[in-house]
Amino acid sequence: MTETLFKHMRDLPSSHLLGTGTPTCAGCGGLQALHQIYDVFGGKTVFVNAAGCMTLLSVYPFTPFRGSWLYTAMACAPAGAQGIRDALDILLEKGQISADEDLQTVVLTGDGAAYGMGLSATSSAIERGLDFIYLCYDNEGYGNTGQQYSEATPHAARTSTSKGPQGYPGNKKDLFSIWAAHKPRYVATVIGAEPLDLARKIEKAREMPGPRLIIALSPCPTGWDFSPDATTDIGRLAVRTGIWPLKEYENGKVVHTRIPRKRLPVEDYLKRQGRFSHLFEPVRKEALLAEIQGRVDAYWEGIEG
Amino acid sequence: MYRIRFHGRGGQGMKTASRILGTAFFLEGFEVQDAPRYGAERRGAPIFAYVRASRSPIHERGIIRHPDLVIVADDSLVPVPAAGVLAGVTGDTLLLISTTETAATWRDRLNLGDAVLTLPAPPEVEDRLELRFAGAACAGAAARLTGVISEASLEQALQEELAGLPAGVVEKNREKALEGYALMAAHEGRVKAGAKVSARAYSAPDWIDLAFEKARISAPAIHAALTSEKMPTGLWRTMRPVIDREHCKRCWWICSSSCPDGVIDIDAENHPRIDYEHCKGCLTCVTVCPSHAIRAVPEHQAVTAEETGA
Ligand SMILES: Cc1ncc(C[n+]2csc(CCOP(=O)(O)OP(=O)(O)O)c2C)c(N)n1
Ligand code: SF4
Ligand code: SF4
Ligand code: SF4
Ligand SMILES: [Mg+2]
C-alpha cells in the first residue's frame, strides 16, 4: 500500500479549500463530508452535479469552488462526466492544455440520483472504464424537494412520503455492492464524522485511474429531524452501531476499514432522530426495532473477528 | 384586499403561519393566495411568506410590495437588511413584532409611531430558533388584527393545516394561536384592507435590463472562484459559538474538520479561529470539542456585548 499523508488526526488540513457562504442548512452532513473531501482533491476538479441539495452550492453568480462545475439533469451526471473527460483528453492530446491544467472529473450527486435515477448511467460509465470519481452524498431521501423517500431510505424511516406508523416499508438498497459488482477500480464508503478514514480513502482514490466511486452517509438535520449540532454525533453513532460500515472495494476484495469493537445497539442511533420517533412513541415497536437490529447483526456476522 | 407578509427564520413556521391564516380567510369566504417565498434558504436563514385575501377574485401575483400588515416572528431580523422586513412599508402599514421589548422601544427605534404593535415573545428562550410555535402565535394575532376572522375559523384552519402532526404538537400550536388571537383583542380590525391596484396603475419594479448578448457572454457561467464568500451566512446564526482560549487544548482541531461549513481554521500558533461572517451557528463544534472549550452564546447577547465593548 502506498504511504498515506494522513497518519494522525493532526495531519488533516487545518484550513479549508471549499468556499464558505453556501446555502446548505446549518449542520449539513453532506457539506461536512464534501468540504473534507475537497481539501484532499484540491481545486483542480470539475464537478458534474445532478439536481439535489448540493446544486445550491453553485447558484449563479455564486460558487464555493476553485475549479469548475457543470449542472446536469438528475439521471445523467455520469454521461456529462464522460463528455467532459473526453473534451479534456482531446485538449490534452492536441496540446491545447498542459497536463498541469488537466482536471479531475468528479460526479457529485445525492442518493436519489445515485441509487435510483442515475444508476444506469453510472453502470455504463463504469463499463466504459471512464476515468472519473463518483461522489454520492447519501442523506437517504430526496432532500432538496422535502425528503421524499428514495431507494436509499432505510427501513421504517419516516419521510414526507412515508408517514404511516411503520414508516418506509422498503429497505435501503446496497449500492456499494451493486457498484462493486461492476468491478471498478475502487469503491468506498465514508462519513464526515470519521475524517481520518475519509481522508485516507479520498487520497487513495485521487491517485488511481479509472472509475472510482464513493458513498458518504450524510446526516441531514432537516430531513432526518435532529438538531443541527448533532450531525457529527449521529455520524459517529452510524459507524459505532454498525449501521454504516466503513469499507472499501479494490481488486475484487472488500476490506472493512473500521470494525466497531463493541457494536452499540442500533437504538442509540435511531432514537436521536425524529424520523424514527414513531418506533419509540407512543409505544415501542419492538418487532421493528428487533428487525432492524437483526439485519445489522446479520451483516456483521463473519466480518467481526 | 388584505396584503399580509410574515417574516421569520427558516424553521420558525412562517410558511405554516401563512397557510393557517390563508385557510382561516378562506373559511370566512375570502379568495386567498398564500405562499412562502421559495428559494434556497434553509433553517435559520431569513425567509418570508405572504397572504393575499379578498372578497373578489385576486389578479395580483408575485411578492407583496406594499403590505397592509407586516408580522415579524423574530425581532433580530428587523435590523438585517437582507431580511427586508421594512421593505415597502407605507404610512398605512401596521407592523406586529414578536419581541421581549416594549412597543414604545420599537416605535422609537423605527420611528413609526403607533403603527407598531408587539406580541410578547417568551423571554426564557435564548435561542430564537427554539421559537417553534412562533408561527401559530403570529397567525392567531394576525387573524384578530384583520377583524374578519372568527376564533372558530382560526381553530378549524389550524386543525386542517396541522393534520397529521402528533396530537400534542397540534394542541400546543392551538394554544399559542388562541393566545395570539386573545392578545390582539384591543386591536381587533386595526389592519385596513388596501385598495385594489388596477393593472393600469402598475409600474414595473426597477428591473436591470440585460442586453441580449451572444450565449458565450450571457450564459450564466461563473468566471471567478469562491464567490460564495460574498454571502454573509453568519446572519442565519441565532446562537454564537465562542472558543475559550484558556480551555482549548489545541487538540487535533476536531472542531475544524467537523464544522460542516469549514469556517474554523487554525492560526500560526495553532489556535482555532471562527469566521463569524459565515458561521451558521449549527453548534456542531460545541458538541464535538473534547475539552468543552467552545460554548454557545445567544447571538443577540453577543452582539450587544460587542457593541458595548463588554
Ligand atoms: C428528472 C427529475 N425529476 C425530479 C427532479 C426534481 N428534483 C430536484 S432535486 C431532487 C431530489 C434529489 O434527491 P437526491 O439525489 O437524493 O439529492 P438531495 O436533494 O437529497 O441532495 C428532485 C426530485 C429533477 N430535477 N429531475
Ligand atoms: S436538506 Fe439535508 S442534505 Fe440538504 S442541505 Fe439541508 S441538511 Fe444538507
Ligand atoms: S476541538 Fe476544542 S480543544 Fe480542539 S482545537 Fe477545537 S476548540 Fe480547541
Ligand atoms: S457553529 Fe461551529 S460548527 Fe457550526 S458553522 Fe459555526 S463554527 Fe462551524
Ligand atoms: Mg438525497
With cell 456529462, the residue in question is A80
Residue pLDDT, tens place only, B149-196: 999 999 999 999 998 788 888 999 999 999 999 999 999 999 999 998
CA triple A276-A282-A286, angle to 5 deg: 65
Last-in-domain residue among B125, B154, B187: B187
pLDDT score recorded for residue B41: 59
| pLDDT mean over A76-82 | 97
Q: Which of A7, A11, A14 would best serve as a mutation to test chain B binding (most B beta carbons within 10 A)?
A: A14
* Residue A60 pLDDT level (bands cut at 50, 70, 90): confident
Strands (E) across A15-127 are located at 45-50, 68-72, 104-110
Is A147 within 8 Å of chain B by CB? no
The minimal CB distance from A230 to the residues B236, B278, B287 is found for B287
Torsion angle in degrees (nearest 10) through CA of A79, A83, A89, A92:
-150
Distance, C-alpha B205 to centroid of its chain: 24
Residue pLDDT, tens place only, A208-218: 999 999 999 99
**Domain that residue B256 falls in:** 233-308
Distance between the two ends of chain B, CA-based, in angstroms? 48
**Domain that residue A134 falls in:** 2-300
Last-in-domain residue among B129, B152, B187: B187
Q: Does B69 map to a domain? A: yes
Are B6 and B92 part of one and the same domain? yes
* Residue B40 pLDDT level (bands cut at 50, 70, 90): low
Residue pLDDT, tens place only, B295-310: 999 998 898 888 887 6
Q: Which of B12, B165, B226, B239 would best serve as a mutation to test chain A binding (most A beta carbons within 10 A)?
A: B226
| pLDDT mean over B20-34 | 97
CATH number at residue A181: 3.40.50.970
Q: Specify the residue with its C-alpha closest to ligand 1, atom 1.
A: A74
Residues A63, B227: C-beta atoms closer than 8 Å: yes
Are B178 and B241 part of one and the same domain? no
Name the domain count of chain A: 1
Q: Please tell me the pTM assigned to this model.
A: 0.89
Q: A252: distance to nearest CA of chain B, Å?
A: 32
pLDDT score recorded for residue B43: 75
Are B155 and B297 part of one and the same domain? no
CATH number at residue B269: 3.30.70.20
Among candidate residues A52, A30, A162, the one with its CA nearest the CA of residue A113: A52
pLDDT score recorded for residue B39: 61
Q: Does A112 map to a domain? A: yes
Q: Does A9 map to a domain? A: yes
Ligand 3, closest atom to CA B271?
5
Ligand 2, closest atom to CA A53?
4
Last-in-domain residue among B169, B187, B205: B187
d(Cα A191, Cα A196) in Å, to the nearest integer?
10
Ligand that comes closest to the CA of residue B271:
3
Q: Does B228 map to a domain? A: no
Are B246 and B141 part of one and the same domain? no
CATH number at residue B47: 3.40.920.10
Q: Does A184 map to a domain? A: yes
